[in-house]
Structure 1
Amino acid sequence: MDSTETELKLAVDAALLDRIPRLPAIARNKTGRAKTQQLCSTYYDTPEMELQKAGITLRLRQGGGLWLQTVKNSGDRTAGLFERREWEIDVPLGQIHLPHLLATGLSPFRQQGLPERLRPVFTTEIRRTLHILATPDWEIELALDRGEIIAGTQRSAVSEIEMELRRGPSLALFDMAQAIAAALPCRLQSQSKSDRGFGLAGNGELKPVKAAPLALTADMKVASAFQVIARNCLHHLLANEAALRGNHAAEAVHQARVALRRLRSAIKVFKPLLAGPQLPPLRQELRWLLAHLGPARDGDVFLAEILKPVLCRHPDAPALPQLYGEWQEQRDRDFAAAVAAVDDNRFTLLLLRLGHWVTAAEWHAPALADTRLDDFARRVLKRTHHRLIKAGGNNLAHLPTEELHQVRIIGKQMRYAGEFFASLYPRSASKPFLNLLADLQENLGGLNDLAVAGPRLARSHHRGDWAWAAGLICGWHETRRPGLLRQAQATWKLLRKATPFWR
């Protein structure tokens, strides 16, 4: 059977799972009696993990005396919502049914000899309690899963709520998830069991990820384009949530903040379409999250770009190691605050509300919503480019710090907008222009780091030896300013001459 699966998962403490059926939103919509069964699943791949690399999973599941073979693709993911195709058939004796694999039409299964090389990679043992929730408008299969994922000697506990849409709009999943998150602490589960299993089998830790490439078309409508971009930003944010607790926390915070800034830039770019009563409270919540992620990222940059180079150059300078240690402790506190914010149910509810808002598509300007994207993109890029050139003038080196900072902000907005719409234009034209914007952002970012460092150090260190160390740091970096300005001006000169790719 070929179908499209739409589901949303919430991770919750195992001790709370029994409370879920008694929540008002669940209890009033339950139909029939709950069913509980033990599900044992084995996931297969080749030794080279060719299916995983292609975004495909193959599973044999035993439950209730029956065997089921399931193939899924990676599909789309937005704020925890999984939308993917699946192919299922009953199979006898728990053996892989090769004709079914070929019938999916997925290219890896047509490779010579691939079916013969399939082998078990990991298993899951899940005790599932299933409830059917329904209204005249929708029907949801709500599964409460307890168990574990097993890959060799590695094990990982499973305790989650899985909601699959049987009938109706996907907004029903967001509504139900919000009702649960408002009542109990939980987290959006950005990974499927197969994602977790393959990670466990490879002893792979979760690593930060950059935004996935966007693929827009010129004849796409403006409203559809915003949905694609916003979903891309939300997936970028959620995909870095788990990595915040690992060995790559600094980069994970950076990518999460980039995701938020990309989303805020998208909201600015499409502002005429989005103005409405739902937007202000969402923007307020985005500011709350940025206020917790920002200090952690800024502290890491301050240590790496401002303090560490001087410490390496002057390891014996009085009080410098102690000053570095104090800022390191502050950075660690900021990271703890960032993780606490992401662990807060407020973060889960924000993502669910954003997902609901993007999916509902209740736009403020219907006429603009149906406008072709290429016309809209050209106007946006032209207007933002004009603002940037006007702000920078002929020579960046003559601008005061505040105006340089403004050029940096507009340049970043220009870069995000250019990246959003880059797929509408030949890569040979857009890539060089966007590279210049990235170089300008790096040059001006270095200057901004210097501008912020002095006051930051001056506010914090009043003891004589520490004040001397702070002065050493400021003086050492001040010698870099002329070079950074020259680099920024050279990039600016090239950018002013560059032919805008949207023409």
Structure 2
Amino acid sequence: MADSKREVERKYEATPETRLPDLTRAAGVSAVVHRGLSELDAVYYDTEDLRLAAASLTLRRRTGGDDAGWHLKIPVSSGVRDEIRAPLTDTLPPDLDALLRSRVRNTRLAPVVRILSARDVHHLLDEDGALLAEVSVDEVLAERLTGKGRGATSAWTELEVELADDGDPALLDAVERRLRKAGVRPSDAPSKLSRALAETAPEKRARKVGKAKPAAAPHTAGAHVLAYVRRQAEALVELDPAVRRDLPDSVHRMRVATRRLRSAFRTYRALLDRTVTDPLREELKWLAAELGADRDQEVLDARLRSHLAAVPTPLLLGPVKARRKLTSVSRRTGSRRRATSVLDTERYLALLDSLDALLVDPPLRPAAARPPRDALPRAVLKDYARLAARVGHALEQPPGEDRDLAMHEARKAAKRVRYAAEAARPALGKPAKRFAKRMKSVQSVLGDHQDSVVTRDALRTLAVQAHGAGESAFTWGLLYGREEAAAGARERELPEVWARASRPGLRAALKG
């Protein structure tokens, strides 16, 4: 089974003559202990078109040192990566293979670079002898193993400072100040692999290992929509390993990306050919539904926990907390398994391929060539008109099941308008931002109402189960009544929230 470690480090340029300054003068460092030399031999794997490197992912099989094995590094933020480790085997461990599937899909991984490092390690300790950080000076030799540059080599020396587990990032600043005073400067290369690929490339673009030049801003309505679609498609791919690792909020964020894509294809169908986007919308709907079971259970669990925590102890009759937990674990296990298993299906991988194909060869209609300030507001306001009709219909319904259903439909329409405005924001600026914010306020009221509807269904089931087991159902009935009152409050709140959100001035501003 793979293990995960958060890696926080900084890299610096060095030479074979580089000597560490006195780092005990860095705040918090009481001692520097030399840990000796080690020889590391790492082979880095990627696809032929270097998909992992393009996403700043690194996969290596390393021997030597005290952490020999397979290592997958996933970027979190600048200087921060999650390192997933697996035992040293001849072939890629299944756990790491799964985490790469959204990037690699059915493409073969092969060795692309071999890096040999002679590492000189020092530990920075506090006054109690606890490890604060590890400083290493690496003499590196890299060899290209594939492509036109096969056999090309590059050598350099670098210095790394890696924070100890749960260490204070301020220590890195203190150490960097001492290094800079000694003439040591930060490296432009985010990783050894990125530098090796750049310096052994056939075109010899040595030293060009920094950030890529930003793309030019889109100038047509179609280009703006495609930029938005690209961001959401990339989010699906990036969130895949997070969902597999069960990271907080990952399922929710991945599901939101599917919804935003579906909304974009529907809202901007005057710009994109529906014969291409409609099948994609159906596949995205399928994926959202498969992911939804886990997310819905997560939301329900949080809501029930919050409710039970607010109930005075004398009103907690029977083993209510134990029953909630038992039910939650049972349902979450099944929904969790469903959410992760769908990511291994050929249908899911085919959806990712189809999104890539759309972006490579966009199915643009003639209207896509129009200026953004002409085409985008029209599409957003068309969705807004649909929302207005659904809110009006919901407000006309008497309390009960029909109103619940009508408010749920209005909620979905509010999300679509909000996403449409967010997609238009880069082109339309603050008016679109304000419009999206107003639509979010409507969505929030309707969403709270729907959450109450779902929670009441769950509370009724829990009450029936408790009664059947001979337990008191009082507490579940109490919570049911509170949820019913909360839903009524949202229904009474909706007309005012809608009136504020639908002010004519905002629509006029969106039109420009």
- Residue aligned with 1:241, SS: helix
Q: Aligned to 1:62, what secondary structure does the other structure show?
A: strand
SS of the counterpart of 1:220?
coil
- Whole-angstrom distance in 2 between the partners of 1:16 and 1:278: 39
Contact 2:394 2:407 in 1 (8 A): no
**In 2 relative to 1, CA 409–38 (structure 1 residues): closer, same or farther, beyond 3 Å?**
closer
What is the correspondence of 1:46-445 to structure 2 with a 5 Å cutoff?
62-64=141-143, 94=156, 116-118=184-186, 220-246=219-245, 248-249=247-248, 251-275=249-273, 278-315=276-313, 316-329=316-329, 330-361=331-362, 363=363, 366-393=365-392, 396=395, 400-427=403-430, 429-445=431-447
Q: Distance in 1 between matches of 2:445 and 2:345?
A: 36
* Alignment check: 8 A CA contact 1:241 1:342 kept: yes
Relative contact order, higher structure (CA 8 A, sep 6+): 1
One-letter amino acid of the counterpart of residue 371, structure 2: R
Q: State the Cα distance separating 1:457 from its structure 2 match.
A: 3.9
Look up the SS of the partner of 1:63 in the other structure.
strand
Amino acid at match of 2:268: F
Partner of 1:482: 488
Report the Cα offset of residue 279 of structure 1: 4.0
Counterpart code for 1:454: R
The one-letter amino acid paired with 2:457 is P
- Structure 1 position 440, deviation (Å): 1.4
Q: Give yes or no for contact 1:450–1:478 (8 Å, CA) kept in 2.
A: yes
Cα distance in 2 for residues equivalent to 1:477 and 1:94: 64
User: Hey, what's the Cα distance between the residues in 2 that align with 1:433 and 1:224?
Assistant: 21
Instruction: Name the counterpart of 1:153.
Output: none
**AA of the residue aligned to 2:477:** G
CA contact (8 A) 1:42 1:121 kept: no
Q: 1:322 to 1:297 in 2, by over 3 A?
A: same
Give the ranges of 4+ consecutive aligned residues of structure 1 lying more than 6 Å apart after TM superposition. 10-14, 34-37, 112-115, 119-123, 214-217
Cα distance, 1:117–1:411 mapped onto 2, change above 3 Å: same
Letter in 1 for 2:501: L
**For residues 153 and 202 of structure 2, what CA distance do their matches in structure 1 show?**
21
**Deviation at 1:246?**
4.3
TM superposition score normalised by structure 1? 0.58
Classify 1:342/1:41 alpha carbon distance in 2 versus 1 (closer, same or farther; 3 Å): farther
The percentage of counterpart residues that share the same residue type is 22
Conserved in 1, the CA contact under 8 Å of 2:113 and 2:142? yes
Distance 2:202 2:282 in 1: 30
Partners of 1:411 and 1:216 in 2: CA distance = 31
Query: Is 1:499 matched up with 2:506?
Result: yes
Deviations 1:115-160 (A, max 9, x none): 833269997689x9x9xxxxxxxxxxxxxxxxxxxxxxxxxxxxxx
The amino acid that maps onto 1:404 is M
Q: Structure 1 pair 289/118, CA: closer, same or farther in 2 (3 Å)?
A: same
Is contact 1:244-1:252 (8 Å) kept? yes
| Distance in 2 of aligned mates of 1:310 and 1:397 | 34
Q: Secondary structure of 1:357's partner?
A: helix
Q: Which amino acid aligns with 1:321?
A: K
Structure 1 position 302, deviation (Å): 1.0
SS of 1:248's equivalent?
Answer: coil
Change (3 A) 1:253 1:446: same
Equivalent of residue 115 in structure 2, options 12, 15, 39: 39
Task: Give the 3-state SS of the residue equivalent to 1:117 in structure 2.
Answer: coil
Q: Which amino acid aligns with 1:271?
A: R
- Hey, what's the Cα distance between the residues in 1 that align with 2:481 and 2:107? 63
Which string of whole-angstrom CA distances, capped at 9 and with x for unpartnered residues, describes residues 439-471 of structure 1? Answer: 211111111111222334435653413654432
Distance 2:144 2:456 in 1: 70
Q: Is the 8 A contact 1:396 1:492 kept in 2?
A: no
- Report the AA paired with residue 455 of structure 2: A
Q: Which amino acid aligns with 1:482?
A: G
| Distance in 2 (alpha carbons) for counterparts of 1:220 and 1:483 | 45
* Structure 1 position 296, deviation (Å): 0.9
How far 1:65 sits from its partner (Å)?
10
8 A Cα contact 1:41 1:123, kept in partner: no
The aligned length equals: 352
CA contact (8 A) 1:41 1:125 kept: no
Q: In 2, Cα distance between the equivalents of 1:41 and 1:228?
A: 41
Separation of aligned partners in 1, 2:352 and 2:202: 19
Cα offset, 1:478, TM superposition: 1.5
Secondary structure of the corresponding residue to residue 263 of structure 2:
helix
User: In structure 2, what is the equivalent of residue 448 of structure 1?
Assistant: 450
Q: Tell me, what secondary structure is at the counterpart of 1:38?
A: strand
Q: Distance in 1 between matches of 2:215 and 2:389?
A: 31
1:476 partner amino acid: R
SS in 1 for 2:446: helix
3-state SS of 1:253 partner: helix
**Structure 2 portions without partners, runs of 5+:** 1-47, 60-71, 73-85, 94-105, 120-137, 146-151, 159-179, 204-208
TM-score by length of 2: 0.57
Letter in 2 for 1:386: A
Q: Secondary structure at the match of 2:219?
A: coil
Provide, for residues 379-415 of structure 1, a one-character-per-residue CA deviation record: whole Å limited to 9, x for no partner. Answer: 1122122222232239948662222222211111110
- Name the SS for the 2:115 alignment partner: strand
Corresponding residue for residue 125 of structure 2: none
Query: Whole-Å Cα distance in 1 between the matches of residues 476 and 257 of structure 2?
Result: 33
Amino acid paired to 1:369: A
Q: Quick one: distance in 2 between partners of 1:490 and 1:446?
A: 16
Amino acid at match of 1:453: T
Counterpart residue type for residue 300 of structure 1: E
